Chains A and B, each alone.
Chain A
């Protein structure tokens, strides 16, 4: 290496030393910091969650609440953000894991360092103090089915769609729906249940057309994955059956708006990520302040006024709210996202 290079290196070292020396002087963390880490930033679902986190910050000036998320849907990228935030010294992490299994090791290290860890949509996460679920899956499936039965006047043929047979939550939803129909609406006749949609609107559209041909007298569909209502709704719309065939399923207001207006979709169910984000932060704040989580307590967030607390997958607890939202043509505009 030449003299020049050596000079540059020496200069760099001096600069680094100065930077280290000045470090520490500015350390001033009086307010507890709660960092929300989502699966991926820049998509509508998590943008909506960010409005919740911002709302929480406005309501709770005694903490610092911000949201982070990777630019690509990769568990490794989310992991790095979590690690950097732990190193930064946040007091609490509110994570929506991309892949719970990948985060286990890091979340354990975080808790060992005294960082509060709260998760969402990860009821199999072992290393968390509290996992927030928006609703009880059985209650949700039952509510969807009840809305469908109401539209079908409690009689006629109906069928169900799931994302895939391996999707645990979807099977729970349609299972609870079936049980509800059997118990309360004996005139509803389930045909060809549990069609797999793979969350693909086009495939679902083809499958729904087949079902409409096979059962011309079918009266209702209960769907599970986010894109199912779009596929089935399009099939109903094109068959000119809007308003005659009922469709209730999980979906988001913005993409479903047209089909809700035309009457092809009867109602959609979901949970509002805005309130889920607020609930995560509320629980994190309670845990940072060493408060206890009690069954039936009020988190001060709509849909989480009386939460159910049960044992989680690890040492932590499951916090289950009642945050399900069912909207139809007349009410979806209040929740447009």
Chain B
């Protein structure tokens, strides 16, 4: 009878469908298909897709690569801790280390240029949250994630950690500068 009792009829499977249910199922299913195909569609025609490129790595190997980039491209330092600001060549491989509780180094990128950004943690899980763009990526220790990105507007952006990483989690923040390309 009601939903808390067994169905009265033995063969409930053959009850004809009410029109309201049938119509809704068709409409809802079509909408489900639209939502499903939006994802592959965006991979082909959209511009914002998270890269599948990732490698297994170690903190030592990753730090060595980041250090080599810092040695080559540092333009100045910021804060009392003298965190290097690097201005790498457009199109190059850029390394960003996330660790307790900082991002290292600070990046200065050129507007409209494309970079291969490698991100990895050397200790716990961290989050890459670029504000105010609001692009958010998980950072793992031991997995080097390569994201190809193109800053579109010049300005000073913030990077904040949005994966809980202990007591000073709220101090893990950094900057990302986007400047106009140098002429000539």
| A and B together in one complex | no
| Contacts from A to B (Cβ < 8 Å) | none
| Contacts from B to A (Cβ < 8 Å) | none
